[in-house]
Amino acid sequence: MTENIGEAIDFISDFVNLNYGKAQTQTPEHSIDRQIKLSSSSSYELVKKAAEAFTKKGGQIFLDARVEHILQDENGKVTGVVAEGRKRTLTVHADAITLSTGGYGANLNMRGKKAKG
């Protein structure tokens, strides 16, 4: 995706029906204007529309479920995940898995000893 970010943005904008425009403010250190924003100026619009588009295509969303294990077959191919919900353990098998757990800024161990803030 890092090598195809333009196409990725176009795909997600079309899939989710997002209408980005030029942001009013731009970052001074950038040589060209490169910040965009939704007309609502709200990330809620993105989350709401993305959830709607995903479920409309048959996707299921599980909230309050922390992925604890990634399942692999005997060749190491990822085949699913196991998540712990509040009331039950959830096992999901899939042809493809996307890890989208954000950066590691919230993990004190991964940030190292110097980054305490």
Ligand X SMILES: Cc1cc2nc3c(=O)[nH]c(=O)nc-3n(C[C@H](O)[C@H](O)[C@H](O)COP(=O)(O)OP(=O)(O)OC[C@H]3O[C@@H](n4cnc5c(N)ncnc54)[C@H](O)[C@@H]3O)c2cc1C
What residues line the site for ligand X (CB under 6 A)? 66-67, 100-102
- Minimum Å gap between C-beta 17 and ligand X is 19
Nearer to ligand X, 50 or 79 (CB): 50
| Contact of 80 with 92, CB cutoff 8 Å | yes
Nearer to ligand X, 74 or 106 (CB): 106
Residue nearest to ligand X (CB): 102
- Minimum Å gap between C-beta 107 and ligand X is 9
Nearer to ligand X, 14 or 69 (CB): 69
| Contact of 82 with 90, CB cutoff 8 Å | yes
DSSP summary character for residue 113: S
Closest CA to 13 of 94, 39, 67: 39
- Minimum Å gap between C-beta 91 and ligand X is 14
CB atoms within 10 A of CB 112: 8
